[in-house]
Structure 1
């Protein structure tokens, strides 16, 4: 599903009105003629479409991400999948005020990069890596990863953000990332490690165990790279549930 199939970012259009548009054949911006809704709302939708095309021509999905509910921001993904950055962090604890970020992995365009505390992990480096990304995808990053990074590195991460935890819940996928991966059959080629293990591995590395850091990096990279197939599965399932289901009822 693409943004051009969406109308709920428009003020005054909820899921019921959007579904009514789809059921009446208005499944894409190109098909909107104002006949299904009242004149005031029609004018608002036409303005949204005109301005929306300009944003999409620039590859900018921020206005749509801001207007969509958190559980519906997955709709932005197909438009900018090639410019999407998947991100995951490891830390020494749960509080950004008293703990530190140890590793950050970014996965984009089939490549995964990992940055390590006291090596190459800085706020400037993160900002440079994210500046060309059209969309950021995390799991629980809205509450944890992004604010943790912003606090620890005094940066502002304003890339449009899809936190997969919310659309996962919408299709009945609860629990942590690894639990959901197992349910969906997404494999990872490494031993089962928990967040608590990640803290332990960092402290072992600080005591001189370089192998512990290698394991921690491998774990962080797996978390990050596996967000991409999860995003694809979630987007496909929600497309079927939200969009194709409405068309089947026409």
Structure 2
């Protein structure tokens, strides 16, 4: 069983949201200050692999740096960015999603917007900003499943 993971960070590099999805456990989002190694490991327990987009270079090293949790050492990592490159699909997750027709409710939002939303939440206790940030993270995480399926289908076509 695979687990899908995406993080959001603040302007100073702190992890603000960890979104994780497993079909058998549904979606779980941890929000600062409630992000702990134990919470992540409890959710990922017995997963065969962690699926990310650019996670080998960003999400997983940031988790290691801030929490001391070596997910690449504990689990097989499947970074879909490299699979995309094999099919000449370059750019960030949102750009690839557009090319493949993957739907988003928040199509114009990006990582910088996520940082600004966190700042609004943290400095002004803006609950709406947090809700939008969590929706953005949810789409990042759940769209990894769709992207993975489309890439599998492309391999069959090739």
TM-score, normalised to structure 2, is 0.92
Match of 2:51 among 116, 137, 148: 137
Q: Is 1:232 aligned to residue 149 of structure 2?
A: yes
Supply the distance in 2 between the matched residues of 1:127 and 1:92 (Cα, whole angstroms): 22
Match of 2:10 among 84, 87, 92: 92
Supply the distance in 2 between the matched residues of 1:220 and 1:155 (Cα, whole angstroms): 21
Aligned partner of 1:104 in structure 2 is 18
List structure 1 runs of 4+ shifted beyond 2 angstroms. Answer: none
Supply the distance in 2 between the matched residues of 1:232 and 1:184 (Cα, whole angstroms): 11
Match of 1:200 among 105, 112, 116: 116
1:190: Cα distance to partner? 2.6
Flag structure 2 segments of 5+ consecutive residues without an equivalent.
Answer: none
Retained in 2: the 8 A contact 1:130–1:159?
Answer: no
Supply the distance in 1 between the matched residues of 2:107 and 2:154 (Cα, whole angstroms): 29
Aligned CA distance change for structure 1 residues 213 and 112 (closer, same or farther; 3 Å): same
Aligned partner of 1:170 in structure 2 is 86
1:171: Cα distance to partner? 0.6
Three-state SS of the structure 2 residue aligned to 1:141 is coil
- What do the CA deviations read for 1:217-238 (whole angstroms, capped 9, x no partner)? 1100100000001001111212
Retained in 2: the 8 A contact 1:86–1:227?
Answer: yes
Supply the distance in 1 between the matched residues of 2:105 and 2:13 (Cα, whole angstroms): 29
Q: CA RMSD of the aligned region, Å?
A: 1.3
TM-score, normalised to structure 1, is 0.59
Retained in 2: the 8 A contact 1:86–1:108?
Answer: yes
Flag structure 1 segments of 5+ consecutive residues without an equivalent.
Answer: 1-82, 242-250
Supply the distance in 1 between the matched residues of 2:105 and 2:28 (Cα, whole angstroms): 17
- What do the CA deviations read for 1:11-32 (whole angstroms, capped 9, x no partner)? xxxxxxxxxxxxxxxxxxxxxx
1:161: Cα distance to partner? 0.8
- What do the CA deviations read for 1:183-204 (whole angstroms, capped 9, x no partner)? 1111012352111111110010
Higher gyration radius (CA): 1
Retained in 2: the 8 A contact 1:91–1:99?
Answer: yes
Match of 1:116 among 20, 26, 31: 31
Higher relative contact order (CA 8 A, sep 6+): 2
Aligned CA distance change for structure 1 residues 84 and 186 (closer, same or farther; 3 Å): same
Supply the distance in 2 between the matched residues of 1:108 and 1:188 (Cα, whole angstroms): 20
1:147: Cα distance to partner? 0.6
